[in-house]
Chains A and B, each alone.
Chain A
Amino acid sequence: DAGVIQSPRHEVTEMGQEVTLRCKPISGHDYLFWYRQTMMRGLELLIYFNNNVPIDDSGMPEDRFSAKMPNASFSTLKIQPSEPRDSAVYFCASSLGLFTDTQYFGPGTRLTVL
């Protein structure tokens, strides 16, 4: 298996633009997670899905952020409109079980909002 795949690896955009981050989890994993990593706040869980259904989105910072998982092999995290404070590394991870099983992380997307 190729592991968790994220795209793009780097994204530079201007304030106000829409940004879409993509994730392909490991086949067979029932859970998918989106994290954000910044120097100030560390690693934060934004949202996670179980069998394509969002379970907990309490970590999503505000309404500008939305996440979808239309099928078992694809998820998106969208920011609209983007702001400079959204600049961070965004990770997608997947696992067989909830947290007690190993979470496999993707390589991350480094987002810069100018």
Chain B
Amino acid sequence: AQTVTQSQPEMSVQEAETVTLSCTYDTSENNYYLFWYKQPPSRQMILVIRQEAYKQQNATENRFSVNFQKAAKSFSLKISDSQLGDTAMYFCAFFSGNTPLVFGKGTRLSVIA
């Protein structure tokens, strides 16, 4: 079964600094999708960024970018110029055509002024 591991339960970063959240996954599939979701205190789940495994280029969305290492099965999220509004739980998630969406346990990120 596919598993997603987020090894950092909590992290903090100073405002305007850069932070990287780690995610590793285990799969025997070759084609799949990876996601980062953000869950602010309001509990809403918001899609931050998505990566298709067949694309070598790392996905980027404004201040958010990923470092996708397919061979290492690693999918880290980098947040640049951190803002107070980035304070949230961040979930890494995996999907392939054969399994439903699998989430990691999450990383709680605190941005400090």
Is chain B a partner of chain A in the same complex? Answer: yes
Known: A45-B101, A59-B100. A99 touches B33 (CB 8 A): yes
Contact of A56 among B43, B100, B103, B106 (CB under 8 A): B100
B16 to chain A, nearest CB (A): 28
Q: Given A42-B105, A42-B106, answer yes or no on A103-B100 (Cβ-Cβ < 8 Å).
A: no
Contact indicator A42/B104 (Cβ below 8 Å): yes
Q: Does B112 contact A (CB under 8 A)?
A: no
A-facing residues in B10-29 (Cβ within 8 Å): none
**Bound Cα distance from A6 to B33, whole angstroms:** 27
* Candidate in B95, B103, B104 with the most chain A CB atoms within 10 angstroms: B103
B59 → A minimal CB distance (Å): 13
Beta-carbon contacts under 8 Å, A7-61 to B:
33, 42-45, 48, 56, 58-59
User: Given known contacts A42-B105, A99-B95, A100-B33, is B45 in contact with A93 (CB within 8 Å)?
Assistant: yes
Residue of A at shortest CB range from B93? A43
Whether A42 and B43, one on each chain, are in contact in the complex, defined by CB atoms closer than 8 angstroms, is no
B86-105 residues at the A interface, CB under 8 angstroms? 91, 95, 100-105
For B100, the chain A residues whose CB sits under 8 A away are 45, 48, 56, 58-59, 99
Task: With CB as the reference atom, state the residue of chain A lying closest to B91.
Answer: A43
The yes or no answer to B62 lying at the interface (CB within 8 A) is no
Chain A residues near B47 (CB-CB < 8 A): 102-103
Name the A residues within 8 Å of B103 (CB-CB): 42-44
Chain B residues within CB distance 8 Å of chain A: 33, 42-47, 50, 52, 91, 95, 100-106
Interface of A toward B, CB cutoff 8 Å: 33, 42-45, 48, 56, 58-59, 89, 91, 93, 99-100, 102-103, 105-108, 110
